[in-house]
């Protein structure tokens, strides 16, 4: 059930509040009936799944063909994705902490904007306007990506969508016209709280192995793969995922051997590998049957963890030593980390990271260029606060 956010006013008691905290993510269908629409939006997004000039034809065709199969997968994990539940919980809990540690920007109001499922970006934006932001009243909003590692296919796509609806619903004028003032938390791959939350979940799973076998358990960090066409364009995602993995292993004292692998490849084109399923299969064949899968690029459970890893990869491995670390979900350590990331951003006065202003080497997208110009340019208005 959706979290009800009370309307806000721009004359609160804090000096710079209220502040809208918008969690951005891919999203997932809450019921099996929503799978078709979810897939249609997903395969229509050339930022995520580039299909070339035939995108408008191939996207709907692929989504229609895949819908029955994917509906069965969501039915197998309880009838829908839990990502909305966890996103709303995480954002609301984070805002409670922010109200306490950052009273000058309070109250902090939680919103969720999904790219391919309800609540969609345009619906979130309409709620912001209805809740008293914008429409001549101004107000501050922070787009907080829930992809810790930046990719043009994920965070970039969500920001393109946010920028599009800002232009459609508020126009192209500046913040002085009473429009919402935006800033972006666009990446946080090695934040100490994120690293600690991942490390604690790994340690908990390691403790389930007999002490004499524990140090030899192989840790397999699994992240969503990318098409090689995106990687070769210069996307920073592989490097940032690797940075997270290294930071977690450093926190663990490099206690175990480890590898990074990639999951969820779609279609026949070349994707970043080695694939998670192949990696597990090959290690089991070699006699290495104590393996922990760690979803390192996801901040909560969804179909990639609950079905792909749990019911496909681990089930097909056929060995009790192949396990998965818990996802971050409601981890108090993780929620404290979210609050710390947000608090640091709010105090920085920056509209986005320096890294976000730099386009990929091979980027030809005018949409990406204009979106970056907009969010980088918001720093001029933040400096006046």
Q: Which residues are catalytic?
A: 191, 340
Q: Phi-psi bin for 318: left (phi > 0), alpha (psi -120 to 50), beta? A: left
Are the beta carbons of 338 and 300 closer than 8 angstroms? Answer: no
Are the beta carbons of 121 and 158 closer than 8 angstroms? Answer: yes
Are the beta carbons of 49 and 158 closer than 8 angstroms? Answer: no
| Total H helices, total E strands in the chain | 15, 8
Give the whole-angstrom CA distance, residue 151 versus residue 223: 12
Strand-by-strand arrangement of the 108-114 sheet: 108-114, 19-25, 140-145, 181-185
Q: Hey, what are 329's tokens? A: 């979900």
Task: Specify which residues 275 forms β-bridges with.
Answer: 262
If you count them, how many residues does the chain have?
Answer: 385
Q: Phi-psi bin for 95: left (phi > 0), alpha (psi -120 to 50), beta? A: alpha
Are the beta carbons of 293 and 323 closer than 8 angstroms? Answer: yes
Tokens 């540690």 belong to residue: 101
Are the beta carbons of 288 and 219 closer than 8 angstroms? Answer: no
Measured CA distances, 342 to 76, 140, 226, 249, 268 (Å): 35, 13, 27, 25, 39
Give the whole-angstrom CA distance, residue 135 versus residue 331: 37
Give the whole-angstrom CA distance, residue 177 versus residue 192: 39
Give the whole-angstrom CA distance, residue 309 versus residue 322: 10
């Amino acid at each position: 059930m959706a979290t009800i956010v009370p309307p806000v006013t721009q004359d609160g008691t804090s000096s710079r509040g209220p502040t809208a905290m918008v969690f951005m993510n891919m999203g997932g269908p809450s019921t099996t009936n929503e799978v078709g629409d979810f897939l249609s939006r997903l395969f229509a997004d050339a930022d995520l799944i580039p299909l070339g000039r035939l995108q408008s034809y191939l996207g709907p065709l692929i989504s229609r063909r895949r819908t029955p199969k994917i509906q069965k997968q969501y039915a197998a994990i309880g009838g829908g994705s839990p990502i909305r539940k966890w996103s709303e919980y995480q954002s609301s809990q984070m805002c409670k902490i922010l109200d306490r540690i950052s009273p000058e920007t309070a109250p902090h109001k939680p919103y969720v904007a999904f790219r391919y499922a309800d609540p969609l970006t345009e619906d979130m934006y309409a709620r912001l306007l209805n809740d008293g932001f914008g429409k001549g009243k101004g107000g501050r909003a922070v787009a907080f990506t829930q992809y810790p590692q930046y990719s043009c296919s994920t965070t970039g796509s969500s920001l393109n969508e946010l920028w599009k609806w800002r232009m459609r619903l508020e126009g192209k004028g500046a913040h002085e016209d009473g429009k919402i003032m935006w800033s972006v938390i666009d990446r946080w791959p090695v934040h100490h709280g994120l690293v600690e939350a991942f490390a604690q979940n790994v340690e908990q799973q390691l403790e389930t192995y007999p002490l004499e076998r524990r140090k030899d358990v192989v840790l397999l960090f699994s992240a969503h793969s990318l098409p090689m066409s995106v990687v070769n364009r210069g996307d920073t995602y592989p490097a940032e995922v690797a940075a997270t993995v290294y930071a977690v292993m450093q926190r663990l004292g490099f206690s175990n051997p480890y590898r990074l692998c990639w999951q969820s490849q779609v279609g026949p084109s070349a994707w970043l590998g080695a694939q998670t399923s192949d990696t597990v299969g090959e290690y089991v064949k070699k006699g290495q049957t104590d393996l922990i899968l760690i979803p390192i690029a996801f901040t909560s459970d969804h179909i990639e963890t609950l079905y792909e890893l749990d019911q496909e990869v681990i089930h097909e491995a056929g060995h009790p030593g192949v396990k998965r670390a818990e996802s971050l979900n409601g981890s108090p350590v993780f929620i404290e980390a979210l609050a710390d990331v947000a608090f640091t951003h709010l105090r920085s006065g920056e509209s986005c990271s320096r890294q976000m202003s730099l386009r990929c080497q091979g980027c030809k997208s005018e949409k990406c260029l204009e979106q970056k110009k907009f969010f980088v340019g918001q720093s001029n208005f933040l400096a006046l606060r």
